[in-house]
Amino acid sequence: MKSKLPSSAETTLGLLTFFAGGLFVIACGFILQTLSGILIPFFVALFLAYLAEPLQKLLIRCRFPTGLRVLLVLLSTALILYLVGQLVYNSVNALTANLPRYQIRIQGMLFDAANALSIHPSVIQEQLTEIQWADHINAGAIAQILGQGLGNFVEFLTNLFLVLLYLVYLLFERESFIRRLENSFSHRSGASRAVEVIHSINQQIASYLNIKTGVSALTGIVVAGFLLLFGVDFALFWGLLTFLLNFIPSFGSILATIPPIIISFVQFETLAEPLVIMVLLISTQVFVGNVLEPKVMGDSLGMSPLIVVLALIFWGWLWGPVGMILSVPIISVFRITCENIDVLNPVGRFLNEPKLR
Q: What is the pLDDT of residues 227-274, one digit of tens each?
A: 999 999 999 999 999 998 888 777 788 889 999 999 998 888 888 999
Question: Do 162 and 205 share a domain, yes or no?
Answer: no
Q: Is 166 helix (H, G, I), strand (E, B) or coil?
A: helix
Question: Do 149 and 202 share a domain, yes or no?
Answer: no
In a domain, 180, yes or no: no
Separation between Cα atoms, residue 350 and residue 260, nearest integer Å: 37
Question: Do 49 and 160 share a domain, yes or no?
Answer: yes
In a domain, 64, yes or no: yes
Note if the pTM is more than 0.85: no
pLDDT band for 226, please (50, 70, 90 cuts).
very high
Q: What is the dihedral of CA 309, 313, 316, 321, to 10 degrees?
A: 50
pLDDT at 357 over 50: no
In a domain, 128, yes or no: yes
Question: Do 162 and 202 share a domain, yes or no?
Answer: no
| 87-98 pLDDT, tens digit each | 888 888 888 888
Number of domains in the chain: 2
Among the listed residues 191, 189, 207, the one whose alpha carbon sits nearest the alpha carbon of residue 53: 207
What amino acid is encoded at 287 in this protein? F
Domain that holds residue 318: 197-357
In a domain, 4, yes or no: no
In a domain, 58, yes or no: yes
Q: Bridge partners of 32?
A: none
pLDDT band for 220, please (50, 70, 90 cuts).
very high
Separation between Cα atoms, residue 210 and residue 273, nearest integer Å: 34
Question: Do 204 and 333 share a domain, yes or no?
Answer: yes
Residue-averaged pLDDT of the chain: 77
In a domain, 15, yes or no: no
Question: Do 158 and 207 share a domain, yes or no?
Answer: no
In a domain, 174, yes or no: no
pLDDT band for 114, please (50, 70, 90 cuts).
low
In a domain, 299, yes or no: yes
Quote the strand ranges of the chain, DSSP E. none
Last residue of a domain, one of 151, 167, 183: 167
Question: Do 51 and 163 share a domain, yes or no?
Answer: yes
Question: Do 229 and 114 share a domain, yes or no?
Answer: no
Question: Do 243 and 105 share a domain, yes or no?
Answer: no
Separation between Cα atoms, residue 343 and residue 327, nearest integer Å: 24
How big is the chain, counted in residues? 357
> Which DSSP category does 138 fall into?
S
Residue-level pLDDT at 1: 47
Please enumerate in sequence order all residues whose Cβ is within 8 A of that of 186, keeping only pairs 6 or more positions apart, or say none: none
